[in-house]
């Protein structure tokens, strides 16, 4: 029984991977309406906020607002907070209300009400929509395949790894890659920030983001961004 299950799982994983590599995920990813897709200017501002929020989790520790502590949870939290209106109450709630922090904040996004809820309407693998989406759903149903070459990554892009029985996301922050291990202990919040050069030479080669690694599916970009 276990052997048949593993065989079926491997076959399914192979089909998904072939679709990702051959059809750049567009066959699985629902298209956003023209009114929902962010403009180039909005996308640039979103990336800046997304990266800033992830960086804050790394440097200051996890926000109490971030409750689902795993790799996909970090992506969902950062996306939702990046799309918020960053007004005085938001800044105060996130400890960013002093003048020193304010001078370093990214430019505000000028979004309509529906655009602000994009991170509350992820499409799941089964086609349903909601605020929760797994790592697989975030890339296969809500992002577009970019490349397997990290030189083509932009800040805020997602690196997707498929280890067979587990899927994992990392976030490209330009200077380094950030992720959550999925495990939290009293002495370890699970957050990691790794220079790209270190990851490319990682001892466990399954996590090396290069084209020759069969566990590295590739780089993905949210389908509501331009480009």
Reported as a single tens digit per residue, the pLDDT across 22-48 is 434 444 555 555 558 999 999 999 999
Amino acid 191: pLDDT: 87
The pLDDT > 70 percentage for the chain reads: 82
Residue 7 above 80 pLDDT? no
Q: How high is the pLDDT of residue 106?
A: 92
189-138-117-47 Cα dihedral, nearest 10 degrees: 70
Task: Evaluate if residue 208 carries a pLDDT over 50.
Answer: yes
What are the distances in angstroms from CA 208 to CA 62, 136, 192, 202? 26, 19, 15, 6
pLDDT, greater one: 196 or 29: 196
E strand segments, 113-163:
122-123, 129-130, 143-147, 158-162
What confidence tier does 155 reach under pLDDT thresholds 50, 70, 90?
very high
Tell me the CA distances in angstroms from 45 to 90, 201, 209, one per residue in order: 17, 32, 26
Residue 3: pLDDT over 70:
no
Q: How confident is the model over 222-226, as a mean pLDDT?
A: 95
Cα four-point dihedral sign 183, 184, 186, 187: positive
Please tell me what DSSP assigns to residue 167: E
Residue 6 confidence (pLDDT) above 50: no
At residue 29, the pLDDT reads 53
Would you mind telling me the total number of residues written for the chain in this entry?
Answer: 227
**pLDDT tens by residue, 92-103:** 887 776 656 667
Alpha helices in the chain (DSSP H): 2-22, 40-60, 71-82, 88-93, 99-102, 135-140, 196-200
Other CB atoms within 10 Å distance of the CB of residue 76: 21
pLDDT of residue 100: 63
CB of 27 closer than 8 Å to CB of 35:
no
- Split at pLDDT 50, 70, 90, the class of 62 is confident
Q: What is the mean pLDDT of the chain?
A: 83
User: pLDDT at residue 59 above 70?
Assistant: yes
pLDDT at 35: 54
Which is more confident, 93 or 112? Answer: 112
Q: Which residue has the tokens 């299950």?
A: 5
- Looking at residue 27, what is its pLDDT? 41
Could you give the count of Cα atoms lying within 13 Å of 167 in the half-sphere of its Cβ? 18
């Amino acid at each position: 029984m276990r052997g048949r299950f593993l065989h079926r799982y491997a076959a399914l994983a192979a089909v998904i991977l072939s679709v990702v590599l051959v059809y750049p995920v567009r066959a699985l990813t629902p298209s956003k309406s023209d009114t929902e897709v962010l403009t180039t200017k909005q996308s640039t501002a979103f990336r800046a906020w997304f990266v800033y929020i992830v960086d804050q989790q790394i440097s200051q520790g996890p926000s109490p607002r971030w409750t689902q502590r795993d790799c996909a949870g970090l992506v969902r939290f950062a996306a939702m907070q990046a799309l918020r209106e960053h007004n005085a109450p938001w800044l105060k709630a996130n400890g960013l209300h002093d003048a020193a922090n304010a001078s370093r904040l990214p430019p505000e996004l000028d979004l309509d009400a529906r655009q602000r809820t994009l991170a509350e309407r992820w499409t799941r693998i089964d086609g349903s929509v909601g605020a929760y989406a797994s790592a697989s759903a975030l890339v296969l149903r809500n992002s577009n395949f970019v490349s397997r070459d990290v030189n083509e990554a932009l800040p805020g892009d997602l690196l997707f790894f498929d280890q067979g029985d587990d899927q994992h996301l990392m976030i490209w922050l330009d200077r380094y890659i950030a992720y959550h291990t999925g495990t939290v202990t009293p002495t370890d919040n699970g957050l990691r920030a790794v220079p790209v050069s270190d990851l490319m030479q990682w001892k466990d080669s399954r996590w090396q983001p290069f084209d020759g690694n069969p566990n590295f599916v590739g780089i993905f970009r949210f389908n509501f961004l331009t480009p």
